[in-house]
Chain A
Amino acid sequence: MLKMTHLAKVYRTEVVETYALRDFNIDVKEGEFVAVTGPSGSGKTTFLTIAGLLETFTGGEYHLDGIEVSQLNDNARSKIRNEKIGFIFQAFNLIPDLNVFDNVEVPLRYRGMKAPERKQRIMDALERVGLAARARHYPAELSGGQQQRVAIARALAGSPRLLLADEPTGNLDTQMARGVMELLEEIHREGATIVMVTHDPELAARAQRNVHVIDGQVVDLSEEPRFHAHNHAQTARS
Chain B
Amino acid sequence: MKTITIGGKAGDGIKAAGKLFANILSQLGYYVFVLDDYPSLITGGHNFNKISFDKKPIFSHYKETDVLIALDKKTIDKHKKELKKNGIILYDSNSFSYKGAIGIPAQDFVKEVGGIKIMRNVALLGALSYALGIDFKIVKSVLKKVYPEKADKNIVIAQKGYTFAKENVKQILRLKKIGKPKEVMSGNTAIAYGAVRAGLDIYIAYPMTPATSILHYLAKNSQKFKLKVVQPENEISVINMALGSAYAGAKTMIGTSGGGFALMNEALSLAGMSETPIVIVECQRPGPSTGVPTYTSQADLNFVLNAGHGEFPKVVIAPGTNEQAYYKSAEALYLAWKYQVPVILLSDKHLSESLKTFEVKNLKKVKIKTSNGGKNYKRYLITKDGVSPIAFPGTKDSVVKASSYEHDEFGITTEEPEVVKKMQQKRLRKMKAIEKEVEKLEAVKVYGKGKNVIVTWGSSIGAVLEAAKGLKNVKIVQIIYMLPFPKKSVEKHLKNAKKIVCVEANATGQLANLIKLNTGIEIKNKILKYDSREFEPIELLNELKRWLK
A and B part of one assembly: no
